[in-house]
Structure 1
Amino acid sequence: MGLKVTFAPKIIVGKAGSGMHVHTKIVDKNGINQYVDKAGHLTATAHKAVAGMMSLAASLTAFGNTNPTSYLRLVPHQEAPTTVCWGDRNRSALVRVPLGWSADVDMCSIINPLEKPSSKRYTNKQTIEFRASDGSANIYLLLAGICTAVRHGFEIDNAEQLAKDTYVAVNIHKDEFAGTVAHLDSLPASCVASAERLRQHRAIYEARGVFDPVTIDMLIRNLEAYQDTDLRAKAQADPKFLKELVDRYFYC
């Protein structure tokens, strides 16, 4: 039929790219969501998990954003994150807390009078969403990396303060809010930069044998092989070159 299928991070010049968001949840042995309390408020557990993602966000791109067009997607005004921050229902943030059933009321029986009331705990649906990754990701390594980041959030002393410091409640891509995130870290702008951040954080990923050093070496080597340090700037200045890049990595 003349159709092509791709999950590449950038497929159309001048339009938002294609991401692969990951929703996370921590549950106890009884299956109860530990991200929210009975009132639907985020718990200390949730803040520590977010802090871990904030701490290792830049190096997580080594697992979730693995070719040069990944970084053509991670630019302002393209419905993708650019800065290491988080927020509630905030689509400009790297980590987002989506709308959940935070009031823990049985909306089904309220809206539908014939529906029998349920004692189900609806706050159990709440997730926390990591929004940087895309279709070029090695999903197995990415999920292991996110789990490592969350674990790291429980190991650092300043986790809750870090979560507080990286929280944003505005669209960070609007000019009037530029100062809001000026103090925050940015996501890497290239595969080469991603490799460097992975090199800086590798000891955390290798701790407890989660990632083998050989695997980390391979990822760094593969990312650096693209030699794309200035590629994004060049592509943004040259539409023809940008189109060539999109075509080259159309199949990731």
Structure 2
Amino acid sequence: MKDLNLRLSANLLVKYLQKPANQFTKEDIIRYINEEQIQMVNFMYPAGDGRLKTLNFVINNGAYLEEILTCGERVDGSSLFSFVEAGSSDLYVVPRFRTAFRDPFAEIPTLTMLCSFFNKDGEPLESAPEYTLYKACKAFTDVTGMRFEAMGELEYYVIAPDDSLFPATDQRGYHESSPFAKFNQFRTQCMKYIAQAGGLIKYGHSEVGNFTLNGLIYEQNEIEFLPTDAIDAADQLMVAKWVIRNLACQYGYTITFAPKITAGKAGSGMHIHMRIMKDGKNQMLTNGQLSDVARKAIAGMMLLAPSITAFGNTNPTSYFRLVPHQEAPTNVCWGDRNRSVLVRVPLGWTSQQDMSALANPLEQKSSYDTQQKQTVEMRSPDGSANIYQLIAGLAVACRHGFEMDDALGMAQKTYVNVNIHRSENSEQLKSLAQLPDCCVKSAASLEQQRSVYEQYDVFGVKMIDDIIRQLSSYQDESLRNDLQSNPEEMMNLVNRYFHCG
């Protein structure tokens, strides 16, 4: 099976080197560069604005290649992070070999790697996004004895001139096929490049959002990933956004991950699925039912839900998406297969029916362990999120569920099994906490709950201070109400944050 996995891998380096990415060494990277006649190396790393930054190297000779792979390079931390002071701003960026991928857009043969940040003493930078996530996952394992895994659903809009042929049905684009869906080929090309760069893709499809405006077609799409190590999950989402934008630039399309781009149309989320593993086995189910492990993790997310928005909903347009009576959540609750809740427990193959044999009578009965597929899904985050901080915040919340005195009671209290917005459920609705409705309230929630994130030195004090300062600076307490009847100003706001994340 291992040899088959290596042969079938879409990751170009895995296929070439015939070893999993997490086993790549410096020697492997040098060998690939030499044998594939790579002429340039790129270092990429996430900055405070949530985007990947790039440093280019020409390979002068073997000694220089050895030097940059071993020592990394200096960068100006104060230009990357607002919490780094200019007076002591030098940082090191050092490549992580397991992230190496062939740049599909470079005319010159180029190998790209994601980097970690280190301070002047050669220690990991405490408030670096990737290191914060590492610390969150380590604390989760130290407390629970289990491993935290994650995966993302990446929603985005493709915008291009409307060809008026085979018009799609407004707001009915979910899983539409061509020719009514216009950008399936673009999406599948994105998926190919993401997979070649190491992204473990589950599937892709067109999404609900679909409309025309001022001669342009707006089509919503989604690429969803498979559960994996949380740091790898974050890396994959970062690279995926970079790939989608670069390919769109080649096609002449406009891309946005913005949470809301016009009133009355579907906004774009970035839902995060999670599962908890021990000894290679999924702990989310017990005898086909949601386990106490899963319920404790959910309880932690219920408690910290207001402050999680500080990492997952980072500009004022985020809160134009989080409104009642749509699929984006507003109430702090969870439920099975319910898209009106904050945390959803998706359909989980727990029926014990061999559906493949029923659909294919010639098949023998399968013994496939479907329990590994069960996840829980946080539905509030959107494309403005700082991906590493968001997944770190979720790992903290899930860990805290195991430290709470009455986690199972909290899980029971916040469970709903119906659409909470129906009139007959008004009493239960009144008992539920609400998510913040603006950046300022999100900042206040983070201030109130910050000690949980700072525990075990996971989130640095300066990082939390910086997030609170930035969110508070929007002064958007009344913005949603102010712009309800002012579509022109609403569009000005959307345009301001169009390329967020």
Q: Which amino acid aligns with 1:94?
A: L
Deviation at 1:111, TM superposition (A): 2.5
Give the 3-state SS of the residue equivalent to 2:260 in structure 1. Answer: coil
Q: TM-score when scaled to structure 2? A: 0.49
Contact preservation (8 Å) 1:17, 1:78: no
What corresponds to 1:54 in structure 2? 302
For 2:445 and 2:352, locate their aligned partners in 1 and report how far apart those are by CA, in whole Å: 40
Give the 3-state SS of the residue equivalent to 2:282 in structure 1. Answer: coil
Contact preservation (8 Å) 2:299, 2:401: yes
Q: Does 1:115 align with 2:375?
A: no
For 1:249 and 1:173, locate their aligned partners in 2 and report how far apart those are by CA, in whole Å: 30
What corresponds to 1:156 in structure 2? 404
Deviations 1:152-193 (A, max 9, x none): 000001100000000111212233322221011100011110
Give the 3-state SS of the residue equivalent to 1:155 in structure 2. Answer: coil
Q: Does 1:71 align with 2:319?
A: yes
What corresponds to 2:72 in structure 1? none
Counterpart among 205, 208, 211 of residue 456 in structure 2: 208
Any gaps of 5 or more consecutive residues in structure 2?
A: 1-159, 162-252
Counterpart among 258, 265, 270 of residue 15 in structure 1: 265
What corresponds to 1:130 in structure 2? 378
Runs of 4+ in 1 over 6 A off after TM superposition: none
Name whichever structure is richer in strand by fraction: 2
Contact preservation (8 Å) 2:326, 2:340: no
Give the 3-state SS of the residue equivalent to 2:377 in structure 1. Answer: strand
Contact preservation (8 Å) 1:62, 1:223: yes
For 2:497 and 2:323, locate their aligned partners in 1 and report how far apart those are by CA, in whole Å: 18
**1:86-125 equivalences in 2 (<5 Å):** 86-125=334-373
Q: Kindly tell me: are residues 177 and 240 of structure 1, through their superposed partners in 2, closer, same or farther at Cα, counting changes over 3 Å? A: farther
Q: Kindly tell me: are residues 237 and 173 of structure 1, through their superposed partners in 2, closer, same or farther at Cα, counting changes over 3 Å? A: farther
Q: Which amino acid aligns with 1:5?
A: I
For 2:341 and 2:466, locate their aligned partners in 1 and report how far apart those are by CA, in whole Å: 30
Counterpart among 33, 39, 48 of residue 282 in structure 2: 33
Give the 3-state SS of the residue equivalent to 2:431 in structure 1. Answer: coil
Q: Which amino acid aligns with 1:123?
A: Q
Contact preservation (8 Å) 1:66, 1:191: yes
Count of aligned pairs between the two proteins: 250
Give the 3-state SS of the residue equivalent to 1:27 in structure 2. Answer: strand
| Greater shift in the superposed pair: 107-116 or 90-99 | 107-116
What corresponds to 1:244 in structure 2? 492
Give the 3-state SS of the residue equivalent to 2:335 in structure 1. Answer: strand
Contact preservation (8 Å) 1:100, 1:125: yes
Any gaps of 5 or more consecutive residues in structure 1?
A: none
Give the 3-state SS of the residue equivalent to 1:80 in structure 2. Answer: coil
Q: Kindly tell me: are residues 138 and 87 of structure 1, through their superposed partners in 2, closer, same or farther at Cα, counting changes over 3 Å? A: same
Deviation at 1:247, TM superposition (A): 2.0
Deviation at 1:11, TM superposition (A): 1.0
Give the 3-state SS of the residue equivalent to 2:304 in structure 1. Answer: helix
Contact preservation (8 Å) 2:342, 2:379: yes
For 2:482 and 2:427, locate their aligned partners in 1 and report how far apart those are by CA, in whole Å: 26
For 1:162 and 1:224, locate their aligned partners in 2 and report how far apart those are by CA, in whole Å: 30
Deviation at 1:235, TM superposition (A): 1.6
Contact preservation (8 Å) 1:105, 1:122: no
For 1:233 and 1:217, locate their aligned partners in 2 and report how far apart those are by CA, in whole Å: 28
Contact preservation (8 Å) 1:15, 1:78: no
Q: Kindly tell me: are residues 174 and 246 of structure 1, through their superposed partners in 2, closer, same or farther at Cα, counting changes over 3 Å? A: farther
Deviation at 1:77, TM superposition (A): 2.1
| Greater shift in the superposed pair: 72-81 or 1-10 | 1-10
